[in-house]
Amino acid sequence: MIWARVVAFAMILLLLVTLFFYMVNDMTPKGEVSKVAGYKPWEKETIEIMNRLPVQDGGRVKPFSSHAAFTMLRLRGDRAIAITDDSGKKISIKPSAWLMDCLFRPALAVELPTFRVDNSTAIDAIGLKSQSRRDRYSYKQLEQGIPKLFELAQSYEKIEEKSRDAVQKQMIDLAYNVRNYQFLIGYFGFARSAIEMKGAAEDGTSKVTDFSTVMATAPMILELIQKSRSSGEALPPNLEALLQQVLDGANFAKFGVVLFSPDGKESKDWRSAGDRIMDVMASKLEDPQTAIDDIKSVESAVRSSSESEAAFRKPLAAMVERQVKRAESRGEYRAVPAENIYNQRNFLLNAMILFLLGLVLAGGMWLLKVMDAPRRLCSILYWSSVASSAAGLLMMVTAISMRCYIMWRPPVGNLYDTIIFICTVVVAVFFLIEFFTRERIAATLAPLMGLGLVLLARRFEVGDAKDHMDPLIAVLNSNYWLTTHVITVTMGYAAGLLTAFLSITYVLLRGLGLGTNLKKLLRQLTVAAYGCLCLTLFLSLVGTVLGGIWANDSWGRFWGWDPKENGALMIVLWSLIMLHARLGGIIREWGFHLCSMFMACVVSFSWWHVNFLGVGLHNYGFTSGKSAIWLFYAMILTLILFGVAMWIVEKIGEQKNEQAAALPATSET
């Protein structure tokens, strides 16, 4: 019997390990490590200076490090590039260093494997040779096929989005990413190349000057243009050439990094380098000198980047500090240092590692327990698992707290927020259950659920490739309703998932016959699941009513049969059905837990699946990757079928025992 339990435990552990490595492997870069000749990593001090730079992106002011991370995530699908230098030494390039390469060392940046291509057919279609089915490519590798790529992408955009196949979608995404990358590597081009003024020198030869110098002569240039228009004469060829160079440089510097705050405090929209140049050239500013000095600081930093890094840091720091002081004077720099700490500490990754360690230790504890190992050794593993999982929970709480400070709003406002919030709530409640039961089951489920949900959060972030701390759409931007309705409903999701996974544990333990004092353990699991079901009903019902009040304020109606509203109602109705069936004796322990397991599907539909439907007013969280939710449904239904089978087997066994017990009495009669 012991060996049967060991085999069952090993099979469950193998399934969990396989699922973990599948999810991690899907987020891991593929292909060989690229060799980039002449690459020298940026020094830590230089990167720290650049990370202090405030930029405006996604409707908010954030540090350079955040902008770099999500730009890299959109293009490459992860936040690290592994290369080797001339000596064969492996170098890991993180987002800030990568974006600095794009801005200051584009000749090296184009050799970095920046673009993720999941379908090699797209590479073959633009006349290039693909490396593998899914790989990363550098701009230099794609360069010859870019004209064909843009041509095909433009033709595919005319096809309705729902009708596009995988290759067409890949082609459009790749073209979009390549175009954005071109803007990045050309962003500081105006500062590197300067302007050639033909015939401007005293001997009639060409003269090279800076953009900032030309900007200072903008009033004179505008006067010449106005005179030309009034007289009907053409502009001098050298002036036309100069204006064209200014226009070309400014156009490329309009996209990429918005790093200049506006002069007046009234305006909220920051300006790119290209905008700053054109504002001066078009005489849109009352005092153009500030903008001229902004461009001059960029030119100084960019040209120093080809010198030693120590020499580069001084003008770079001057450029950064100039923008930091402006942002501070406008009150927009408050959260930038905190967000840099959030990015550096990587709390969610550390939480994932701690939950994984906690799960491994808990697994070792149960393995030793079923093999009748010494209790002291099992106890050491148990408390080590609890400590590791508790540290993971602390990481999650810290991450959510910091996000609240940075966003200056309640913790839940989008789909990503719900994942990490539900993870934190679920792990905390499992610890609470463990405190009262002391059966070590909840302490094992805590790291298991924590690990699964953190992995889901990381996968969602990679697939969505958006900064989820950016401002919410107007209808959601209400701290009162985010605090009441959204948090209440999200806690209802967490309680529903808790109920389901407690019941899954019940079915597995009872079906496989695991546990020393099985009857007591099963009774405690039933009580815990019943309590969580009541909590699910309360939170979901209150949250749904609060949502209706909010909808009435925002949309003028309390209820509109929106998919998200219907999903919340489904949770309430399923909870009521289970409670009434239980109270009426229609379902007992097996029936209760089998119905409770189905609650995981109901909650997942309301929380996650409705975002794929593409209809309704709750259209703020649509995502890709529908296969994962169907896989989850299949797993839950498989476990339900397993429970039904074990229930039938148990019933048959009970009937045989009753018949066997009745045989002696019959024969005596």
pLDDT at 30 over 60: no
Q: Give residue 267's pLDDT band: very low, low, confident or very high (50, 70, 90).
A: confident
Query: Which of these, 358, 375, 324, 451, lies nearest to 49 by C-alpha position?
Result: 324
Please state the rounded mean pLDDT for residues 488-501. 94
pLDDT of residue 353 exceeding 50, the answer is yes
Residues 569-589 pLDDT 10s: 999 999 999 999 999 989 999
- DSSP-assigned letter for residue 473: P
pLDDT value of residue 202: 52
Note the pTM of the prediction, 2 decimals.
0.87
In sequence order, the 6+-apart residues with CB closer than 8 A to the CB of 527 are none
Q: In Å, how far from its chain's centre is CA 515?
A: 39
Angle between helices 347-370 and 441-464 (to 10 degrees): 150
C-beta atoms surrounding 86 within 10 Å: 11
pLDDT at position 608 is: 86
Q: Which SS3 state, helix, strand or coil, does residue 136 take?
A: strand
H/E stretch holding 207 reads strand 207-209
Instruction: Look at residue 641 and tell me whether its pLDDT is greater than 80.
Output: yes
Beta bridge partners of residue 116, listed in sequence order: 136
Question: Mean pLDDT across the stretch 304-314?
Answer: 92
Separation CA 58–CA 663 (nearest Å): 78
pLDDT tens, 129-185? Answer: 887 777 889 999 999 999 999 999 999 999 988 888 888 999 999 999 999 999 999
Find the Cα–Cα–Cα–Cα dihedral 126, 128, 131, 134, rounded to 10°.
-10
CB 362 within 8 A of CB 385: yes
More confident residue, 20 or 656: 656
Q: Looking at 232-246, 391-405, 451-465, 579-593, which range is the least confident one?
A: 232-246
